[in-house]
Structure 1
Amino acid sequence: MKRSFWEQIKKRLQLSDKAGNKQKYLLVLLLLGISLMFISKMIDSPAQKSSLNGLVPETKVKSEAVFKQAKEVTDKNIKTYEDRYSNELKDLLEQMQGVGKVSVWVELSTTEKKEFVTDDSTQSQTTSENDKNGGKRTIEDQKIDEKVVIISNDGREEPIIVTTEKPKIKGVAVLAQGAENIQTKSMIIELVKKVFDIGSDQIFVGPKNPEGE
């Protein structure tokens, strides 16, 4: 019966004393060398490298994707409000007597803010210490744990909104046909102040080119 490779090695290690210890040592070294080569090939195999390379960047990609998505949503919300306010103000101004075609630009400093119902728990701890001079010191430690209350609405989990604060206006620019008239310009400024609750220093009004749309 044909012996396996390891059985042959084992037999050779059990040499008689006539072969001498030198041949035993050489065979042991040969066996160790073969084992090291086998382990080295396993570590450097392309499949294992590919597996490792596939795991490490995956976490990084997910982190970047989540961060980018959150930023895009914020920018989109602000742009949506700016367009909405611009269109509403444009429609309103074009109905004003003495005003023709209007172009409006609105810039926001913040998007809307929402206040949610929270479940707050407070933990207080008071510690008294006496020093060697007979003095007494009291240390108070307070920890507040705040959690947003979540409810189920049509199978979806949503927070309870208490109030919603509208976006803050940074500035408004209006180009209007008829704004070259001082009285009309003044009326436009007053209207914008009332609508957006901002100061006149945040508003620019100028005449629009009659040929422009």
Structure 2
Amino acid sequence: MSWLKNLVGDGEADGPKKEQMKKIKLLAAGAVIGIGLLFLGGLGNDKSAKTPPPVQEKAAVIQNQNNQAKTAMASEEEYLSQKLCQMLEQVEGAGKVKVTVRLENSTQTEYAVNTSTGKKTTQEKDQSGGTRVLTEDTDTGQLVLVSRNGEETPVMSREIAPTVAGVLVVADGAGDPGVKAQLFRATQVALGVEPQKVIVMARKAGE
């Protein structure tokens, strides 16, 4: 601190030098505080960078749910394709058959719910002395659960089958108009789909 002593003089300096010494000390203290704040601010930025924003977390959850839904639908498509293929190969003259089923959505399950309905009536008086009656409907629902092996599971009320978007059938015997018509009709009835959603084609020779 010799430079500071030379700048402001010794302890016997007059009034102006003491004032100059006081100002320098204040400036030095302000510089130290400023550096400390910058350092702390840097730490805060690092912490916020490591913590994912809530929006990103929500998007990740939605993406995960969508992936699970797609996986379930793909499994159902594969199952229906295999079952229909096995059935169509039993048609006389069909030969080897390959089936592709595409769905618009997967199977949906609805569960039983106990509901209770009530009404709440309230009378209010306005400033002019009039009275008005307010009626509020109060509906509540509770999922019905059953205990099985010590675990509570919801009771299924109904299961809604998936909606078929389209079916493609490729068969060795589809070159014959009669066999093609049988395959077409069997596919339509088996899946309960409209005719415009079913295509039956003959397999290319040698494949």
- Normalising TM by the smaller chain, what interval? 0.7 to 0.9
5+ residue gaps in structure 1? 1-14
Q: 1:80 matched to which residue of 2? A: 75
Task: Look up the match of 1:164.
Answer: 159
Match status 1:199 vs 2:194: yes
| SS class of match (2:206) | coil
Q: Counterparts of 1:85 and 1:199 in 2: how far apart (Å)? A: 16
Shift of 1:88: 1.0
Within the candidate set 84, 88, 104, 1:89 is matched to: 84
Offset of 1:23 from its aligned partner? 3.1
Counterpart of 2:46 in structure 1 is 50
CA separation in 2, counterparts of 1:42 and 1:205?
A: 76
SS at match of 2:204: coil
Match of residue 98 from structure 2: 103
Percent identical: 22
Name the SS for the 1:179 alignment partner: helix
Say yes or no: does 1:117 pair with 2:86: no
In 2: Cα distance, 1:143 partner to 1:100 partner: 62
Please list the CA deviations of residues 9-52 of structure 1 after superposition, one character each: whole Å capped at 9, or x if unmatched.
Answer: xxxxxx99x8437734751x444433433333233224343223
Aligned mates of 2:116, 2:37 — CA distance in 1: 53
Task: Render the CA deviation track for 1:116-137: whole Å, top value 9, x for unaligned.
Answer: 23343445334567899xx987
Normalising by structure 2, we get a TM-score of 0.74
- AA at the equivalent of 2:50: G
Out of 66-75 and 37-46, give the one that drifted further. 37-46
TM-fit CA distance, 1:70: 0.6
Offset of residue 98 of structure 1: 0.9
Determine helix, strand or coil for the equivalent of 2:173.
coil
RMSD: 3.4
Q: SS of the residue aligned with 2:174?
A: coil
Distance 1:76 1:111 in 2: 10
Aligned residues: 195
Distance in 1 (alpha carbons) for counterparts of 2:144 and 2:116 = 13
